[in-house]
Every structure is written in structure tokens, then in C-alpha cells.
């Protein structure tokens, strides 16, 4: 899967409208850290957008949840991420936005600040530029402790 850089929406000039999602068709992928998808969809409607549950050509914004990667159980990218990537490659006017940036866009900065990120050993490996074996060793000897285990992660 190609690397996708999320577009930052942290510039104050973009949060001037009382309906910052006016004209946007929004879908969500991955687990959201701040709320469930149903509550997020309600917020999209409140702030002038239209929330949809699946990818289509009409989607203009994909919000990527920060509680978990948008991956299927087998480790493959979610269907929404695959479809979004394909649409962007084809030149679609589609924006990928991290959950915390989306919360900032609609003015819910207090929720944005509450998000706590979880990292798998592989994610930590990439962040710290260390072999994943080193991260796992640190965990085995107690230098770092997982706050939660999901399956073997």
C-alpha cells in the first residue's frame, strides 16, 4: 500500500465557519479513540456534512481513527483505505484526515487532547528506528509495559 500523508487541518483560518463540514461527505475507518462511529457520524451532520458508512465516489473526506490502525484482522488495509487510496491515485478530490485533526476542525479540541495513542511493537520499532526484536526484548525484561494486549499485540 502506498504511503499516504494526511493533510493537516490545524490552521486556524480553516475553522472560521460555524459549519466547518459544509458540503463534505465523510466516512470513518479504523477505531476512533474519542467516540464510536455512530456518534462521530452525528457530529458530521451537526457540523454541516453528510456521514456515510461506506466508500463511494461521493466521499470527500476519510477520517482515520487513532485508536487502532485501519487494518483488517489479517493485517491487510481496511477496504475503505484501499478504496480511498485507489480514488486518490485516480485523482479524486479526497482528503485523508487523522482523527485528532478532524476533532480540531470541528472545534472539539478537548476531545482531541484526550486521545491516547497505543502502539504495537512494530509501530514503536518504526518510530524509534530500532529493530522490533529490541522492543519485544524491552517488554520481556520489563523496561516497557503494555497498557493493553489485543491478541498477541
Question: In angstroms, rounded to a whole number, what is the distance separating the alpha carbons of residues 84 and 80?
Answer: 6
Strand-pair category, 61-64 with 25-29: parallel
Angle value at C-alpha 144, between 65 and 137, nearest 5 degrees: 105
Task: Look at residue 113 and tell me whether its pLDDT is greater than 70.
Answer: no
Reference 83, options 100, 101, 108, 58; nearest CA is: 58
DSSP code at position 133: H
Structure pTM?
A: 0.64
Query: What is the Cα–Cα distance from 98 to 8, expressed in whole angstroms?
Result: 8
- Cα–Cα dist 122/119, whole Å: 8
Stretch 53-58: mean pLDDT = 94
Query: Given a cut of 70, is residue 34 above it in pLDDT?
Result: yes
The whole-number average pLDDT for the span 88-93 is 94
pLDDT over 60 at 103, yes or no: yes
Instruction: Give me the mean pLDDT over the 144-152 stretch.
Output: 73
39 vs 75, residue with greater confidence: 39
Q: Is the dihedral of CA 111, 114, 120, 126 positive or negative?
A: positive
d(CA 33, CA 30) in angstroms, rounded, equals 9
Q: Is the confidence at residue 86, as pLDDT, over 80?
A: yes
Helix (H, G, I), strand (E, B) or coil at 26: strand
Query: What Å distances lie between residue 42 and 34, 56, 73, 137, CA to CA?
Result: 14, 19, 27, 43
Confidence of residue 123 (pLDDT cuts 50, 70, 90): confident
* pLDDT beyond 70 at 152: no
Q: Rg for the chain (alpha carbons), in Å?
A: 17
Identify the pLDDT of residue 14: 43
Amino acid at each position: 500500500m502506498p504511503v499516504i500523508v494526511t493533510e493537516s487541518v490545524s490552521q486556524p483560518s480553516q475553522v472560521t465557519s460555524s459549519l466547518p463540514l459544509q458540503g463534505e461527505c465523510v466516512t470513518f475507518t479504523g477505531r476512533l479513540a474519542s467516540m464510536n462511529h455512530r456518534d462521530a457520524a452525528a457530529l458530521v451532520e451537526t457540523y454541516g456534512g453528510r456521514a456515510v458508512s461506506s466508500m463511494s465516489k461521493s466521499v470527500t473526506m476519510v477520517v482515520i481513527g487513532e485508536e487502532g490502525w485501519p487494518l483488517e484482522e489479517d493485517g491487510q488495509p481496511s477496504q475503505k483505505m484501499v478504496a480511498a487510496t485507489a480514488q486518490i491515485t485516480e485523482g479524486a478530490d479526497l482528503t485523508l484526515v487523522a482523527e485528532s485533526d478532524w476533532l480540531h476542525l470541528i472545534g472539539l479540541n478537548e476531545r482531541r487532547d484526550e486521545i491516547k495513542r497505543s502502539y504495537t511493537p512494530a509501530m514503536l520499532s518504526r518510530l524509534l528506528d530500532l529493530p522490533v526484536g529490541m522492543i519485544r526484548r524491552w517488554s520481556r525484561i520489563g523496561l516497557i509495559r503494555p497498557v493493553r494486549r489485543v491478541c498477541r499485540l
